[in-house]
Chain A
Amino acid sequence: MDNREDVEIGRVAKELINQLSVVLRTAQIHDPNNIAVVSVIDKMTALVNHLIVSERVIALELRGEYFYINELRVRYALEHLLNFDFLVREFKKRELGSIVFKDKISPEDIKVFIKAFISSTFSSKPFDVIDEKLSVVKTITVDRLKKIVDEGALEPRKMVKKAYFNAVSYTRGVINKIQSGEKVNIKKAKRVVETMVDQILEQEQLLLGMTAIKDYDEYTYHHSVNVSVLSIALGQHLGLNRKMLTELGMVALFHDIGKMEIPYDILNKPTNFTDEEWKIIRKHPVWGVRALLKLKKLDTLTIKSAIVAFEHHMHFDLSGYPRTVKGLELDFFSKIVCLADQYDAMTSSRVYSRIPMSPDKALSIMMERAGKELDPLLFKFFTNMVGVFPIGTLVMLNTKELGLVYESNQLFAARPRVMLIMDTHGNRIKGHVADLTEKDARDQYIRTIVRTMDPNKYKINLAEYLL
């Protein structure tokens, strides 16, 4: 197969995945015989049958966060982002690993598949339901989702932890080196960020969970890494490619580098800042630019880092600082980092305001700021990413169980996965993670969030649960 064929198959593959997503979404709303459903099924049938001529068999497989068609990884396209994401979640929810089209198909075959797919929604063994109901169709088969485990590789949680702490350790080293006038190794920074990008692509929720732990002693370093992680995650939801995600992660990692110039006594002051101290604090964006431009010879990444360091407090409506003579239009990365920065700062206990907030409260404040301090479009993506109940939110359930949000749910924002920490009788428990999308035999949700609480107020050590 030459490159041109690869490109053509890649294009058809993208369309096929997109169309499958459209079919499933439409079928979840309308009856299978509805004209809207019939029309999208016909298009899907045509796409499969077109590709089958050259490929003979089409295996659409989900591996990690990526779809592969006949071993060719299908790259995300921005215009199909939502549909790709939808399909990934749906496949995962049903433990569906692959769909294999073994020959030309008919619209009826797709209808059987749709019915099987939809009827598996509330089953405890969704894949088995699909597999069984699809057995009447000879041209389409399915396989169970395989867990991706590299031989000898560490389990995902350990890898995520390692990536996170490597980043913190590196950031700490960079700040120390700059302060002592030593040369900084940028190659290492790229490696650190690339690892985080990989983890975001593979284990987004786990890495976001690391950012929810706010009691680290070394706030400055953790904050830099958290902002980097949150920015990369948002960037991924915005459809940025891996290279752009690395750049974004890098500029976010260094966004606060100017703070190293702020005297220690001010940075760690336990009470509110005086006007004079605020004046000093407000200089850190400019100091950041200075530090970055002195770091190494100018290149694209340094320029982008300097821009973000300068702009990350300027605000969407330019009401922040530094105030500029010429009206600047904020850089795209600056707006992303600004969101991540505000969210992490508000939910942390060592920022200037000294009052840490619960993640959901921070989000509600940020919602008020959207359109003023924050870019409303990006905020929309951000809330879709972190969910109504971000990781680390303390929640009371209708079952009188107390829990911590453990993983957000992209499809059902109000129904995340929750780690239960107190049972219905108020006894401390640990370990069980409940999926709030679970329903009982009467098709009712088993658990629902009735109240959110501030974990900081009760000094709940998130690390104990999330690390």
Chain B
Amino acid sequence: MYPTNNPIYINTLDDNFAKLRDFFYDHDKLTLKIRQNDILYDAEQVYFSTDKEDNLALFFFKDGLREITFSKGLTYEEMEDFLRIISLDFNREVLDDDLVTLFWEKDFQNIDYVVDDVVLSDEENYEERAVEEIKEKGPSEDNLQKAYEDAFRDEEEIKDVSIVPLADRDLQSLVVELERDSLDKIGKLFDILFEMLFMSEKNSDYDDLADFFMGAVEYAVGRGEITMVTDLLARAKAAADNKNYSDEIRNCATRIIYLSGSETVINLLGEILDTGQELEEKIIEDFIRYLDRNAIAPFMKVLGELRSIHARKIVIDALVVLGTKDIMTLAKGLSDSRWYVVRNIIYILRKIGDKRAVDHLLKTVKHGDVRVKKEVIRALGELGGSGVLQALRECLEDPDIQVRSAALKAFGNIGSEAAKKILLGRFLDKNFKDKHFDEKKEYFEVLARWKDKEIFDYFVATLKTRTFLGRAKNVENRSCAAYGLGLTGNKEALPFLNKYKNDSNKLLREYCFSAIKRLESG
């Protein structure tokens, strides 16, 4: 219920240990006798329950425990280990050990227990029956007599089996062998399964093998042995591509690759990534390279569940690689209810750079979250294509400045004549002049990217334009034009800029001055 550093947990243990210590002040042993429904100390019942579920006596009894003795000298660690064991959830399938095995493995020095092993025998009286049977087959005395007589004939002599005493060198070799043996065995199991693949004869053999490989892959991924799985996939790929092998072998190898991208495997990988276990990105990249497109959907699912940013980045990179195999499946992620998943998928589609994604992306332009909108606008700007300009044009009128700004940049990225025309057209809008200075400046900045004569002339014309009405706004426009001219890199703008560098308006003066500096410094 509590983590081990929780004060309640620690205090409970401390209290228990203090009680035991007090007990051992006067006694050497604390022996508890266990029966099905009760626990006795010194013939006195100290626990009773007839409950089937919540019954400590039965909990011990069913595994064969009949007596537990704690001895003076019991350490705090032993008591804690003991309590930890009995607190485990034994109903969980994954637990392969019962109470007695767990006690046995701990090898307690100060906790002894008596076990009734009757629970181990599958048959009643098996021992008696087997011993009786074997003894019934007793020899006749004549045979023994004959052995005695034969012993005096020179038929057989002592066999020469010399026992070579063990030397230090033997022990050293043994230590080396044991060290080598301590490595994980999963690689060996993969080797064996491959050998079995080549030995298989029936269809059911191949089906079994695919299941075994699957289990082994899940086991390996669950333990973070990704490189081992990558090696396996490389071998499976080689087998699948080898035309000298039978169709059955090649199909099975293909299935192994397919199954390695299953939801179970990818979920396990996600869990590993989320634990913060250090996994080099290269290891994951190598693994991903062998997966098939069926892994895309599970990866997208995992993407929405991961907690750590690092893990999400790895999965995103994986989808950038995998997504190329099936844009359609990837694009389904754009309908996810979580804004961050949608944004990640847009990022992935942008990185992949496949124009087939544009139609799907266009549907998200009107997404309710600004962060998604910005990402999709950026993606559309990089991908371009039909329908994009119209969508982006609408974005220029979005109430949110961030969206409008993203759209402007997207136009710049597209860099086409049509895009330029749309932006220039925006200047004619009667409301343009009323835009905030920064936004107007951004327009000029984006347009400066074209660096052509049309833009140059337009900027010079704007710089020169003087009005009487709305003078302040006009100065803003002229300053933006000066700024834009500086960005074009065209030194022909210098005479125009020099003309206004001493203008009475401070804003215009400053922007002209900056642009001149930029152009002169090249």
Contact = CB atoms under 8 A, between A and B. Distances in A.
Interface string B171-186: 1011101101100011
A331 B181 contact: yes
Contacts of A72: 109
B343 to A, nearest CB: 38
Contacts of A168: 126, 130
A422 B148 contact: yes
Given A186-B96, A195-B120, A377 B101 contact: no
Nearest to B94: A297
Given A242-B107, A458-B146, A467 B98 contact: no
B508 to A, nearest CB: 76
B161 A360 contact: yes
Q: Which residue, B127, B140, B159, B194, has most C-beta atoms of chain A within 10 A?
A: B159
Interface stretch (B211-219, B470-478, B497-505): B211-219
B150 interface: yes
B454 interface: no
Contacts of A426: 145, 148-149
A413 interface: yes
Interface string A184-215: 00111011101100000000000000000101
A299 to B, nearest CB: 7
Contact of A322 (B130, B148, B195): B195
B188 A190 contact: no
Contact of B134 (A377, A384, A467): A467
A460 B216 contact: no
Interface stretch (B162-170, B281-289, B416-424): B162-170
Contact of A452 (B138, B143, B148, B156): B156
A324 B190 CA distance: 13
B133 interface: yes
Q: Which residue, B77, B161, B171, has most C-beta atoms of chain A within 10 A?
A: B161
B127 A173 contact: no
A384 B161 CA distance: 11
How would you classify the secondary structure of chain B's contact residues: helix, strand, loop or mixed? helix
B139 to A, nearest CB: 4
Contact of B163 (A213, A310, A383, A454): A383
Contact of B216 (A298, A383, A422): A298
B196 interface: yes
Interface string A34-46: 0000000000000
A169 interface: yes
A331 B123 contact: no
A388 B163 contact: yes
A286 B166 contact: no
Contacts of A148: none
A367 B161 contact: yes
B430 interface: no
B208 interface: yes
B238 to A, nearest CB: 12
B151 interface: yes
Contacts of A73: 109
Interface in A208-236: 213, 215-218
A255 to B, nearest CB: 14
Given A78-B178, A191-B101, A322-B195, A307 B122 contact: no
Interface string B58-94: 0000001000000001000100000000000000011
A147 interface: no
B134 A213 contact: yes
Contacts of A422: 144, 147-148
Nearest to B157: A451
B215 A326 contact: no
Contacts of B94: 297
A299 B94 CA distance: 10
A299 B121 contact: no
A458 B212 CA distance: 49
A195 B181 contact: no
A461 B163 contact: no
A81 interface: yes
Q: Which residue, B134, B149, B177, has most C-beta atoms of chain A within 10 A?
A: B134
B156 A377 contact: no
Contact of B122 (A170, A324, A467): A170
A78 B171 contact: yes
Contacts of A188: 119-120
A421 B144 contact: yes
A333 B151 CA distance: 39
A245 to B, nearest CB: 11
Contacts of A384: 163, 165-166
A304 interface: yes
Given A458-B144, A459-B143, A383 B164 contact: yes
A78 B152 CA distance: 45
A402 interface: yes
Contact of A458 (B147, B171, B180, B219): B147
A190 B161 contact: no
A188 to B, nearest CB: 6
B401 interface: no
Interface string B102-145: 00110101000010010111110011001101110111110111
Interface of A: 3, 71-73, 78-79, 81-82, 150, 152, 161-163, 165-166, 168-170, 172-173, 186-188, 190-192, 194-195, 213, 215-218, 238-239, 242-243, 246, 286, 289-290, 293-294, 296-301, 303-304, 306-307, 310, 322, 324-326, 328, 331-333, 360-361, 363-364, 367, 377, 380-381, 383-384, 387-388, 394, 396, 402, 413, 421-422, 426, 428, 449-455, 457-461, 463-464, 467
Interface of B: 64, 73, 77, 93-94, 96-98, 100-101, 104-105, 107, 109, 114, 117, 119-123, 126-127, 130-131, 133-135, 137-141, 143-152, 156-166, 170-171, 173-175, 177-178, 180-181, 185-186, 188-189, 191-192, 194-196, 198-199, 208, 212, 215-216, 218-219
16 contacts: A165-B126, A170-B122, A190-B96, A242-B104, A243-B105, A303-B186, A303-B216, A325-B195, A328-B191, A360-B159, A361-B159, A402-B147, A457-B147, A459-B139, A461-B135, A467-B135
Given A242-B107, A325-B198, A452-B156, 11 more contacts: A78-B174, A81-B171, A165-B130, A190-B96, A238-B178, A303-B216, A360-B161, A381-B174, A422-B148, A458-B150, A461-B139
